[in-house]
Protein backbone atom coordinates (compact mmCIF):
# COMPACT_ATOMS: atom_id res chain seq x y z
CA UNK A 1 0.00 0.00 0.00
CA UNK A 2 1.19 3.48 -0.86
CA UNK A 3 -0.40 6.64 0.51
CA UNK A 4 0.47 10.19 -0.58
CA UNK A 5 -1.11 13.60 -1.14
CA UNK A 6 0.68 13.99 -4.49
CA UNK A 7 -0.55 11.71 -7.31
CA UNK A 8 2.49 12.41 -9.48
CA UNK A 9 4.81 11.40 -6.65
CA UNK A 10 2.78 8.26 -5.94
CA UNK A 11 2.97 7.14 -9.58
CA UNK A 12 6.69 7.95 -9.70
CA UNK A 13 7.35 5.87 -6.56
CA UNK A 14 5.23 2.98 -7.89
CA UNK A 15 7.39 2.87 -11.04
CA UNK A 16 10.49 2.31 -8.90
CA UNK A 17 9.01 -0.52 -6.80
CA UNK A 18 9.09 -4.22 -7.71
CA UNK A 19 5.56 -5.53 -7.10
CA UNK A 20 2.66 -7.46 -8.57
CA UNK A 21 -0.17 -5.38 -7.10
CA UNK A 22 -0.18 -2.16 -5.10
CA UNK A 23 -2.87 0.14 -3.74
CA UNK A 24 -2.22 3.85 -4.24
CA UNK A 25 -4.34 5.77 -1.72
CA UNK A 26 -6.60 2.73 -1.68
CA UNK A 27 -6.96 -0.02 0.90
CA UNK A 28 -8.78 -2.46 -1.37
CA UNK A 29 -6.54 -3.49 -4.25
CA UNK A 30 -8.35 -6.47 -5.74
CA UNK A 31 -10.83 -6.14 -8.59
CA UNK A 32 -12.39 -8.92 -10.72
CA UNK A 33 -11.16 -7.25 -13.92
CA UNK A 34 -7.61 -6.79 -12.65
CA UNK A 35 -4.75 -9.23 -13.10
CA UNK A 36 -3.78 -10.98 -9.87
CA UNK A 37 -0.34 -12.29 -9.10
CA UNK A 38 2.94 -11.59 -7.39
CA UNK A 39 6.59 -11.30 -8.32
CA UNK A 40 9.58 -13.44 -7.39
CA UNK A 41 8.59 -15.81 -4.55
CA UNK A 42 5.15 -14.20 -4.09
CA UNK A 43 3.56 -16.02 -6.98
CA UNK A 44 3.82 -17.25 -10.51
CA UNK A 45 1.72 -16.08 -13.41
CA UNK A 46 -1.55 -14.21 -13.40
CA UNK A 47 -5.13 -15.22 -12.84
CA UNK A 48 -8.18 -13.25 -13.91
CA UNK A 49 -8.93 -10.90 -16.79
CA UNK A 50 -7.07 -11.28 -20.06
CA UNK A 51 -3.74 -11.26 -18.22
CA UNK A 52 -4.04 -15.01 -17.63
CA UNK A 53 -2.93 -15.48 -21.24
CA UNK A 54 0.17 -13.35 -20.95
CA UNK A 55 2.32 -15.73 -18.90
CA UNK A 56 5.64 -14.48 -20.15
CA UNK A 57 5.23 -10.78 -19.36
CA UNK A 58 5.69 -9.03 -16.03
CA UNK A 59 2.62 -6.90 -15.35
CA UNK A 60 2.34 -4.26 -12.66
CA UNK A 61 -1.04 -3.05 -11.43
CA UNK A 62 -1.53 0.26 -9.63
CA UNK A 63 -4.94 0.71 -8.02
CA UNK A 64 -5.53 4.45 -7.47
CA UNK A 65 -8.19 6.18 -5.42
CA UNK A 66 -7.90 9.92 -5.96
pLDDT tens track for 31-66 = 777 766 666 666 655 566 666 666 667 778 888 887
User: Given this model, what pLDDT does residue 2 score?
Assistant: 92
Write the CB contacts of 39 (distance below 8 Å, at least 6 apart in sequence): 18, 19, 20, 58
Domain ranges (residues) in the chain: 7-64
Q: Is 57 helix (H, G, I), strand (E, B) or coil?
A: coil
Query: What integer pLDDT is reported at residue 32 of this predicted model?
Result: 72
What integer is the mean pLDDT of 17-27? Answer: 86
Look at residue 44 in the predicted model and tell me its pLDDT: 56
Q: Does 7 score more than 70 pLDDT? A: yes
Angle at 54 between CA 17 and CA 63, to 5 degrees: 40
Amino acid sequence: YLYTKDLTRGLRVSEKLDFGMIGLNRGLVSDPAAPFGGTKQSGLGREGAQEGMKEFLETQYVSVSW
